[in-house]
Chains A and B, each alone.
Chain A
Amino acid sequence: MDLRDTPEEAAFRAELRAWLEENLPDNLQGHRGGAARFEGPEMRAWSRALYDAGYAGLTWPKEYGGGGAPYTHQAIFLEEMARAEAPPHIGVIGLGMAGPTIMAHGTEEQKSRHLAPTLSAEEIWCQGFSEPGAGSDLAGVRTSARIDDGHFVVDGQKVWSSFAHIADWCLLLTRNDPDSTRHAGLTYLIVDMHSPGVEVRPLRQITGEAEFNEIFFTGVEVPAENVLGEVGGGWQVAMTTLLHERGTLGFALQAVLEVQIKKLVGLARDRGADPLQRDRVAQEWIELQALRFTNARALSQLVKTGIPGPEGSVAKLVWSEANQRVTKLALELLGPDAPLADANAPYGGYWQHQQLRSRGNTIEAGTSEILRNIIAERVLGLPRSR
């Protein structure tokens, strides 16, 4: 056990810190988050800069444009990005889900076609899993993909699809066999969002912004080679995506919370906090350290044995609930100013926005109830509830 950086890790950290100091544009530092930041050209430029410097896809193989670096570098990268309050790469879904899924199940052509453009922010991804009738119970997916004359024809509706309004490609879970039910008969497709018959309708959410969307597919033709994995084997591929959505996010989530706690402490200093509020600030700081070292334990286990420890399964659950408490505590510290919004609110409405956005954290990427089921059943070995 040695919690310090190795000399090699320390060198990587120092180099990265210097790079961030030099290259992070002022107007992107400490952005309040949300959909708006993805709209201008500066986020693509920033993502491109990360890519050119070799920081996008650090752990991906070099042949696909990645860095070929160990997971520890990725953890350091996220820590330093948080420290500098730098926004993430615009390819949240591309880097977090599309890339890992394509690497695990894709053909050689799919890998060379998609991985590098994803890292360089030339191609943005969205995830088309949820439907009006299939949320937590994802095996209820009904969007159909008929095989017709050497291609798929897709019809159906997806919902809550984040970034679909700016996406070039979609990870689409469909049903190829109309007579099938549940996990069988599903096919995982890579769909060009610019194809005829794809219609995206933004959905305004609790924050007032439209970050997620409905997607309607009407007779959309998808080339046969765009299937990921086997026809009828979509469920296994989808599980890889979900594993990465919930799993490798650990350090990214911790980095988000790190920024949040830093700001919370600053807020409590600026505005003053009563003894009960001070207790809660300390509690949240402690939970952040707990999350941080839990991720570190899971990472060390992964590096040593190739298998992530079960500790990692708690990261998303812990983070989402912590982020909700932290942002609510911030509103409390704002006192009578809490109801103000946007430009009229202190700090440009940062906390008001963050607090509302945090309510989605326990719903997106698997609700807290579903994640508790997973811990109970897969980690603790309790009987399956469904």
Chain B
Amino acid sequence: MDFTFTPEQEDLREQARAFLAEHPQASWRELADLGWTGVSISEEDGGAGLSFLEEAVLFEELGRALHHGPYFSTIALALPALPDDLRSEVAAGETRWTLALGPLVTDLDTADRIAMVGGDGIYELEGADRELLQTSDETRPLGVLRGGEPGLRLSDSGVLEEIRRRALAALALEACGVARRALEYALEYVTTREQFGKTIGVYQAISHPLADSYMRLELARSLSLWAAWCVAEDDEQAPVAAAAAKAYAAEAAVGVCEAAIQAHGGIGFTWEHELHRLYKRALWIESFLASGTRLRADIAATLLDGASTSGSSASPVPVSVTEGG
């Protein structure tokens, strides 16, 4: 067993963090030039032929930077449905996609093309009008679609299971990035701000919630990296791992942001400070696709009724049926 990143993966993280610190709102073209849009696309199709693990590194770093762009929609949601020729366009940075999974659709402001689920297949939606809605997280817009027709058939709808796993894992990783940034803000602040003649980080009412935040973040990361590995390897535990990671990491990110806001006092409540943006992204992640409560209901069904989590046929959890105590 080896649960560490390779030196190349660590380099990718460093590169991504440094680049996004300078250019948090980098364009799709810039991301493509860095090779990020083709990470898991095969080399024949112009990609890097790597795996979801490298994408995982990027989801975490893009979440941390609150990047506004259709990376999540294109890479986590749409990519598994795209045929080879369209994948090579993504790798080349020519097309940005989103996938309409429900009435509220992500990244309609930036996506070039829209995929939709229809019956037994996933199709390109053609000729639809887009309407952007107001959302509290301005960096991850939602919108609705009106009219339009299914056009080009992209794939069989069987790929939806894979999409769900990728999306849940990607959201969990973004949540880890968001939580890490919020915790960093809090640590910076409580080690410099003084009240009553002391640095406020000395007060346990401040330091203990931050210790808890660190703990939750580490647990969230462990689950998210487990999920990422399972997705990358197409492991039979992937559905339950992705569900567990999203359920835990999203709630952890919300909690860490709340602790960070509280530790900042009045400044944490301002529009000017970035904390509220991190918080709104965390809340967005928590609500998108399936909330923690919903995902835990699925996991409970797997544990207690022998159902499978999100349609997988794998039975992920070895439990003894007879042992109650």
Chain A residues proximal to chain B, CB less than 8 Å:
1-6, 9, 30, 72, 75, 262-263, 265-271, 273, 275, 278-279, 281-283, 285-287, 289-294, 296-297, 299-301, 303-304, 311, 314, 317-318, 330, 346-348, 350-351, 369, 372-373, 375-377, 379-385
Contact = CB atoms under 8 A, between A and B. Distances in A.
B218 interface: yes
Nearest to B306: A269
B231 to A, nearest CB: 12
B199 interface: yes
A13 to B, nearest CB: 11
Contacts of A291: 219, 222
A351 B325 contact: yes
A286 B325 contact: no
A269 B187 contact: no
A376 B201 contact: yes
Contacts of A372: 204, 207-208, 211-212
Contacts of A278: 296-297, 300, 304
Contacts of A381: 187, 191
A322 B319 CA distance: 19
Interface string B1-42: 111111001000000000000000000000000000000000
B321 A297 contact: no
B171 interface: no
Interface string B281-325: 000000000000100110110011000000000000101111111
B207 A263 contact: no
Contact of B219 (A265, A271, A294, A351): A294
Nearest to A268: B304
Contact of B319 (A265, A289, A299): A265
B114 interface: no
B300 A379 contact: no
Interface residues of B: mostly helix, strand, loop or mixed? helix
B76 interface: no
B2 A300 contact: yes
Contacts of A383: 191, 198-199, 201-202
Contacts of A317: 215
A219 B223 CA distance: 54
Contact of B1 (A269, A300, A384): A300
Interface in B174-222: 187, 190-191, 198-199, 201-204, 207-208, 210-212, 214-215, 218-222
Interface residues of A: mostly helix, strand, loop or mixed? helix
A303 B300 CA distance: 35
Given A265-B304, A283-B296, A1 B218 contact: no
Contacts, number: 187
Nearest to A297: B3
Given A300-B4, A382-B201, A3 B226 contact: yes
B77 interface: no
Which of A75, A262, A301, A351 has the most CB atoms of chain B within a 10 A radius of its CB?
A: A262
Nearest to B199: A383
Contact of A269 (B198, B235, B248, B324): B324
25 contacts: A266-B319, A268-B304, A270-B324, A285-B244, A286-B244, A289-B241, A290-B223, A291-B219, A293-B3, A296-B1, A297-B3, A299-B3, A304-B2, A311-B218, A347-B324, A351-B325, A369-B204, A376-B207, A376-B211, A380-B187, A380-B211, A382-B187, A382-B190, A383-B198, A385-B207
A262 to B, nearest CB: 6
Closest 10 A/B residue pairs (Cβ): A347-B325, A293-B222, A290-B219, A282-B296, A376-B207, A278-B300, A382-B201, A267-B324, A350-B325, A300-B3
Given A269-B304, A290-B223, A375 B4 contact: no
Given A263-B323, A282-B296, A380 B210 contact: yes
B207 A373 contact: yes
Contacts of A384: 202
Contact of A285 (B6, B317, B323): B317
Contact of A382 (B3, B207, B248): B207
Contacts of A72: 1
A3 B218 contact: no
A330 to B, nearest CB: 8
B248 A282 contact: no
Given A289-B223, A385-B204, A262 B320 contact: yes
Contacts of A289: 223, 226, 241, 244
A120 B53 CA distance: 44
A290 B245 CA distance: 9
B99 interface: no
Given A72-B1, A273-B304, A314-B218, A267 B325 contact: yes
A168 B3 CA distance: 40
Contacts of B208: 369, 372, 376
B72 interface: no
Which of B191, B207, B235 has the most CB atoms of chain A within a 10 A radius of its CB?
A: B207
B304 A382 contact: no
B219 A287 contact: yes
B303 to A, nearest CB: 5
B319 A262 contact: yes
Contacts of B219: 287, 290-291, 294, 314, 318
